[in-house]
Structure 1
């Protein structure tokens, strides 16, 4: 027998789903996934420990991206409901688990948008437009406000518009990373390649701890289009096909640029904030400019002529890629939060879709507010240092993201047993093994994000983020741990409010009958 709260959720869900608009085809899903999965905010960090950044990327693609993609392809084809990731976890483990897991899934993206992505875009502009000098705090605030709220505006628009922004973002990735790969070859032909020795490509434990959480963060998101499952034209066929193609594209668009950074930029000069833009700038000197080595060994590239104009274009592309990364995640995760709220796992006021746009406008605005708060908070904590800001924001975004997959990945295995009657157009092979492997990676990385280097040298030089000192490890832990505790508390509160509102709606007397729409 269905619970009263569940019945109310189904009624509310039917009302909100009637506002959805189908605009999402197979090619749209592919471009959306490329835009979702391929970011540049972590490329510089992957090069900070030498050649093993490239090695660990290949390992994670084979042993994490492929297994997890198979799990998510089965879920997306079998349960193509709006709010996919929330629906899967709730169906497998119940409303409370679904509510908490989904809040982490959602909150990651305002944190990422207002943190790392703003920092990445600023890093590109600093490198190509401001001579490598950081902008003032006031200028950073103005830029962040435009960056965040332009994203909110596009998220409010329907998928009819939003999918084209994602397509532009995907094309920008192909252009930026493709051109960089070509320019690296030209630069190497002219100046020679100066990458790490062959032995430096060997994977190590320090590389595992320092890089794998970031790599996994870069390789999750195959499920995101399923957040708009009922806005797809044919989810059962298009989701598995789109995921399969995006795995290949993601491997190429990550592997080649990381290798390019290693071949162009000295390892000890690569940074998380500007490592990729610095490598691009140095390579672009083949079109005009100079590369000099200062007394302290720092390589400084100066662009001129055609190289300068090429730098302006590449800097703009860096900002576009960062912006569209956040936009696609906001578009998807905001839908999952809205679905959970009309399903009784959050405040009903947030579980509404616009009849005009078919989008969760209230949650979109909430994401903008949260992103703005994150930017202000982290900026003040780090005293306006963009480099330190980048490290804190990236660590928090990674931890909240990976935690949400502790519920999503096991859902496929659980539902295979509890819901055997479901039609599964795609069935993942060796489901139990895929679940253990995918979830195991997430568990290990979650611990290491909170305690970098635990088991070897907690917060040692090889493990701590850029800009931090060993004496600041407790401060770093608090910046990561306190928000996680706060997010759990908010998620449980959301769930409690949603259940109370659902019960109240059932208990309320009905004085009027609503005339059916004719």
Structure 2
């Protein structure tokens, strides 16, 4: 079958695809793709968790980079270079498996991001502000809601603007990551020279099943997204050359930006202090004592940090960088995934009304607004369900975002192998080696981790102390499952409904075109 036949499957264009594509603006070059990928891949919401698990966290990070990030990136580099269509991740799955599978997979791919924006990322930004500006104390409910609304809807505003503007926000976000994580790495080394280098024992680096269950889903969540720039494939200046090059550079940058801070925490902070960290901002605050301040550790491993005026001022700067990093993480994902949903809708896998791009900005305005509404609802719902408990709020939102994200790759990764077999003669500027093996390995990681997110510890001790999320008791395991599983079922039903609406609209448009035209 020819490439054109698969791209035109079931009447693409009947709902105005060409009209919408004519609104797209080319502003996406090779450097932009690299910075966009760094901004997409490197977050800080999981760094503290990796460090609290001792050397094992670093071991699993290295294993996942080598045996998951590299294989999956190779698959996505081939897809992005060979099929540089707008809405790439959706188009690849639809070409490989059909419009219904594409619709379901794409809703999971898209909905992850408003869930993540309104849940984990708001929580991370608030955590950074609390740590550096509020002495670790919770803000009032009113402040939390005002901040969350500003955070979410500022993201929507920037997503509405064209890539000509949005790419610079992503570049600022990438530079903020280099500044924040680079400075932190320097700080922990300086802290080590002042207080001595400790480091966990060699045995703590040995991997375990409990560490796999707790850490690997979070690590995989941090290492997916190499395909996201391809959501704007037809807004790139030269996707066939730039996508593989950008992905190759971003793998190295991502590994270093994650690995060096985690290794620094492990080698510098005493094991008892590292295990008492509540998150990355806590580690930064503790390292800031090299500029002046003290750290006291209680018997339970929790620490109390007192900073001088100068170290507090430096902390303010780093706290702002934490907010910028969290904000731009959500923004890049919203910019990409909103495009995939809009493309699926004008392709007939969703309501045509959501498949419209702005004439002025060349962006999917309606989907951008919808993402903002969902983010707001997620923040309100998660905050209500957990009764304002920040710990439970964070773990619930993060687990849901991780599960929806990983599920979407069950369609994306196999698409590379399927399209290689169905379209062997399609031009491929980059060809992934041993594509069958890479597909099996990448997909197997996703399947196992998805199961473990829903049933932590299944096969050893479901929801026992070694596996359950922080802040949850064994007696709450069914509540946890309910909070995670029900949204997944709702998202699946939403995807099927989108597909049904889109299918009906395609048929109606086809029948209208088939009617004979009479002269007036």
Q: Tell me if both proteins adopt one fold, taking TM over 0.5 as the criterion.
A: yes
Say yes or no: does 1:360 pair with 2:364: yes
Q: Which moved more, 1:456-465 or 1:244-253?
A: 456-465
The answer for the alignment partner of 2:251 in structure 1 is: 247
Written as runs of structure 1 = structure 2, the 5 A alignment for 1:274-423 is 274-294=278-298, 296-423=300-427
- Distance in 2 (CA, whole Å) between partners of 1:262 and 1:343 is 49
CA distance in 2: counterparts of 1:8 and 1:179, whole angstroms: 49
Q: Deviations over 1:214-249 (max 9, x none)?
A: 000000000000000000000000000000000000
Deviates more, 1:317-326 or 1:131-140: 131-140
Alignment correspondent of 1:436: 440
The corresponding residue for 1:179 is: 183
Out of 141, 146, 152, which is 1:148 matched to?
152
The answer on whether the counterparts of 2:84 and 2:230 sit within 8 Å (CA) in structure 1 is: yes
Q: 2:63 maps to which residue?
A: 59
**CA shift at 1:146, angstroms?**
0.5
TM-score (norm 2): 0.96
Question: How far apart, in 2, do the equivalents of 1:223 and 1:481 lie?
Answer: 26
Deviation, 1:5, is 8.4
2:196 corresponding residue in structure 1: 192
Q: Give the corresponding residue for 2:506.
A: 502
The 5 A counterparts of 1:197-276 are 197-265=201-269, 267=271, 274-276=278-280
Deviation at 1:502, TM superposition (A): 1.0
In the other structure, the counterpart of 1:19 is: 23
1:217·1:402 contact (CA, 8 Å) conserved in 2? yes
Partner in structure 2 of residue 445 of structure 1? 449
Partner of 2:108: 104
Q: What SS is found at the alignment partner of 1:508?
A: helix
Per-residue deviation at 1:45?
Answer: 1.3
Deviation at 1:504, TM superposition (A): 1.0
Structure 2: runs of 5+ lacking an equivalent: none
Separation in structure 1 between the aligned mates of residue 381 and residue 275 of structure 2, nearest angstrom: 23
Secondary structure of residue in 2 paired with 1:424: coil
For the residues of structure 2 that align with 1:24 and 1:347, how far apart are their CA atoms?
Answer: 28
TM superposition score normalised by structure 1: 0.96
For 1:321 and 1:190, how far apart are their aligned partners in 2?
29
Q: Secondary structure at the match of 2:16?
A: helix
Deviation at 1:460, TM superposition (A): 1.2
**2:487 aligned to which of 483, 490, 498:** 483
CA contact (8 A) 2:158 2:166 kept: yes
- Offset of 1:379 from its aligned partner? 0.4
Q: Contact 2:196–2:268 at 8 Å: present in 1 too?
A: no
* Structure 2 partner of 1:71: 75
Instruction: Name the structure 1 match of 2:84.
Output: 80
1:89-128 → structure 2 map (5 Å cutoff): 89-128=93-132
How far apart, in 2, do the equivalents of 1:66 and 1:297 lie?
A: 36
C-alpha displacement of 1:44:
1.1
Give distance in 2, aligned partners of 1:151 and 1:273.
Answer: 29
Q: Partner residue of 1:516?
A: none
Query: Taking structure 1 as reference, are residues 19 and 191 closer, same or farther at Cα in structure 2, changes over 3 Å only?
Result: same
Contact kept in structure 1, 2:56 and 2:205, CA below 8 Å: yes
Aligned length: 513
The 1:17–1:4 alpha-carbon spacing in structure 2 relative to 1, beyond 3 Å, is closer
Question: Does 2:159 correspond to 1:161?
Answer: no
In 2, are the aligned partners of 1:74 and 1:428 still within 8 Å (CA)?
A: yes
Secondary structure (helix, strand or coil) at the match of 1:302 reads: strand
> Is 2:6–2:95's contact at 8 Å kept on the other side of the alignment?
no
Q: CA deviation at 1:421?
A: 2.2
Please, which runs of 5 or more residues in structure 1 have no aligned partner?
514-518
User: What is the alpha-carbon distance in structure 1 between the residues aligned to residue 244 and residue 218 of structure 2?
Assistant: 25
Q: CA RMSD in A?
A: 1.8
Contact 2:286 2:305 in 1 (8 A): yes
- CA separation of 1:13 and 1:277: change in aligned 2, threshold 3 A: same
Measure how far apart 1:194 and its partner are: 3.0
Once the two structures are superposed, residues 325-353 of structure 1 have per-residue CA deviations (whole angstroms, 9 ceiling, x without a partner) of 00000000000000000000000000010
Structure-1 separation of matches of 2:159 and 2:313: 31
How far residue 274 of structure 1 moved from its aligned partner, in angstroms, is 3.8
2:123 is paired with a residue of what secondary structure?
Answer: helix
Q: 1:326 to 1:2 in 2, by over 3 A?
A: closer
Mapped to 2, the partners of 1:298 and 1:338 lie a distance apart of: 47
- With over 3 angstroms needed to count, the CA separation of the structure-2 counterparts of 1:273 and 1:484, relative to structure 1, is farther
